[in-house]
Structure 1
Amino acid sequence: MLRPILSPEQVNLYHHQGYLIVKNFCSQEEVAKLYSTALQDNAMQQNALDLNDQTGKKTRLSLWFTPGNDVFGYLTRSEKMVGAVQQLLGNTSAVCHFHSKLMQKEPKVGGAWEWHQDYGYWYKNQFMFPDELMSVMIALTPANKENGCLQVIEGSHKMGRVNHGFAGEQVGADMVMVNNALKTMPLIYVALQPGDALFFHSNILHRSEANLSDAPRWSVISCYSLQSNLAYNETSTSWHTPVQVVPDEAILHWEAASLSEADFLKKENDPALKETGWEG
């Protein structure tokens, strides 16, 4: 049994809101190591995919499935990450890692993301239980209104799955239901500082604006499921493999492998790309 990471109040807030912000979840030293690795490791950049919004602006992402012995794998497998996810998803089954992605929204050119639910994509993978799916975003650079931070509709996870269709190269939610949600529930701009974490439910509606600022917005997002949450149309294997937890100190102090060993999603794997839940 992993040690509790979150307070009962935080767990209750997540279930009420559909999201939870934890300030300083990662130390500045951890963020510096993650960010420098993302900038310097050729494998991360060589496996980056460009995705267009409806205006032609681009956001880059690199996506991989099995968390390895690199620094991002250590973050994904860390006791604090898996322990917090276990508390939020429940202790009924082992935590598994679906996939992780590095989001790179560059100054002036970083594109917008349409309103969507992650389960709007993952439903096509035939995951059975959306309440047993969630994502964790760690900010590597500041995220604010100016550079296109995430927006969420608080409480919208309680609506259940909304129909989704294509919007440019993205998959977006039915805007009639989105507009109804915006009239009913609060719109929240999720401003984060480097090291802050956002935990969010697979059914919460979220989007982001284009980055029109002079500053980048980079983040890493790890998506998790419980082993009991069967996916009948998913070809990767990490989603049903319990995470091999490592101590938090691994992020800074363990020898890290190259990201070249990671099983990155390739552009030629599209349409699988359309079903992974690109954004956060």
Structure 2
Amino acid sequence: MAVPEYSCDAEGNFIVTDQVLSSFEEFGCILVRKLLGEREISSLKQTIENDLTLQEASYRRNDGEGGRSRTVIWDDPSDDITGAIARSYKVAGTFQKLLKDEVYHYHAKVIMKDAKTGGAHTWHQDYGYWYKNGCLFPDMGTVFIPIDDTDQGNGCLKVIPKSHKAGRIDHVRIGDQAGADKDRVSYLQQKLGLCHVEMNAGDALFFHSNILHRSDQNHSDRRRWAYLIAYNTRNNDPVIDHHHPKYKQLIMLPNSAISDCVNDAGSSKAPGNRKFFEGPTKDPSLPKIQG
């Protein structure tokens, strides 16, 4: 089963039509090709590569399969191109229409699967984490934007389309991750199939918080880095305090604001101003290890 695919218009804008909305509601995810143009994705790539503070704040996560990936997470959108993308109409505005409610920036992160050493991310639902954060409903979602081309060779995303209709599945701790019940995942995969979501840098996968997804270890000679932005809805404001924010109005920006961040050399004009999350040992979203 394939994920529904769409494209931006000639000006680089993306419109959520009735067909797009129907696809998202049916499959729980949509793939938008070339959401970011060549200069935009090049600037995003350079910004992340050159941000030494971001690199130093990254931490390694054990995948429970003998591998590790690096992750860095922050809550508030930054002043650089990462923040412009997160606040843009073609990203935040798209999710607002898909989720049918005002959205706010829940958090953003970069997942770094380096060549030959990048660990897997076990089968999970994002709501498997966020349920523990006091979010009462799964009215949330994530956009996955690869910084590098991603395919089966370097550990692309795998999703089970329509699995969001199964509701929240029990999660247990696997390494430094929360993994969905393996038997339930197996049954759903047999019934619904799975899709390897191969993407080029600048494409974007929008997916519902209850979609089951995973990625394999990267045994290739190519790295696989990706920028992810998570959104929550205003009416799903968390009922407890935790490490991710409660509702804060998101001031959306025109899509042109992304290009405005790119200087003549192709990199981001503004520096980042992020307050980073400290790592998995302090993550209350993870199931506790018994004993």
Task: Report the TM-score when normalising by structure 1.
Answer: 0.91
Tell me, in whole angstroms, the C-alpha distance in 2 between the residues paired with 1:267 and 1:206: 21
Partner amino acid, structure 2, of 1:223: A
Displacement of 1:253: 1.5
Query: Larger deviation: 266-275 or 163-172?
Result: 266-275
* Residue 108 (1) aligns with residue 116 (2): yes
Q: Which residue of 1 aligns with 2:264?
A: none
1:85 aligns with one of 95, 109, 113: 95
1:230 aligns with one of 237, 245, 248: 237
Displacement of 1:47: 0.9
In structure 2, do the counterparts of structure 1 residues 201 and 8 end up closer, same or farther at CA, with 3 Å as the change threshold?
same
CA shift digits 1:84-143 (9 cap, x unpaired): 1111000xx42111000011111100001111101111110121110x200001111111
Q: Which residue of 1 aligns with 2:203?
A: 196
Contact 1:267 1:273 in 2 (8 A): no
CA shift digits 1:171-206 (9 cap, x unpaired): 101111011101110210011011100000100111
Q: Which residue of 1 aligns with 2:69?
A: 59
Q: Which residue of 1 aligns with 2:247?
A: 240
Displacement of 1:252: 2.5
* Residue 168 (1) aligns with residue 168 (2): no
Tell me, in whole angstroms, the C-alpha distance in 2 between the residues paired with 1:152 and 1:4: 23
Q: Which residue of 2 aligns with 1:117?
A: 125
1:216 aligns with one of 212, 216, 223: 223
Partner SS for 1:98: strand
Displacement of 1:207: 0.7
Tell me, in whole angstroms, the C-alpha distance in 1 between the residues paired with 2:15 and 2:241: 30
Q: Which residue of 2 aligns with 1:178?
A: 185
Alpha-carbon RMSD across the aligned residues, in angstroms, is: 1.8
2:275 aligns with one of 263, 268, 276: 263
1:73 aligns with one of 77, 80, 83: 83
Tell me, in whole angstroms, the C-alpha distance in 1 between the residues paired with 2:270 and 2:248: 21
Partner SS for 1:108: coil
Contact 2:154 2:219 in 1 (8 A): yes
Partner SS for 2:65: coil
Which runs of 5 or more residues in structure 1 are unaligned? Answer: 276-280
Q: Which residue of 2 aligns with 1:8?
A: 18
In structure 2, do the counterparts of structure 1 residues 34 and 273 end up closer, same or farther at CA, with 3 Å as the change threshold?
farther
Partner SS for 2:153: coil
Displacement of 1:43: 1.4
Partner amino acid, structure 2, of 1:8: D
Task: Report the TM-score when normalising by structure 2.
Answer: 0.88
2:104 aligns with one of 86, 93, 96: 96
Which runs of 5 or more residues in structure 2 are unaligned? Answer: 1-12, 262-267
Tell me, in whole angstroms, the C-alpha distance in 2 between the residues paired with 1:153 and 1:46: 34
Displacement of 1:227: 0.7
Q: Which residue of 2 aligns with 1:278?
A: none
Tell me, in whole angstroms, the C-alpha distance in 1 between the residues paired with 2:280 and 2:122: 23
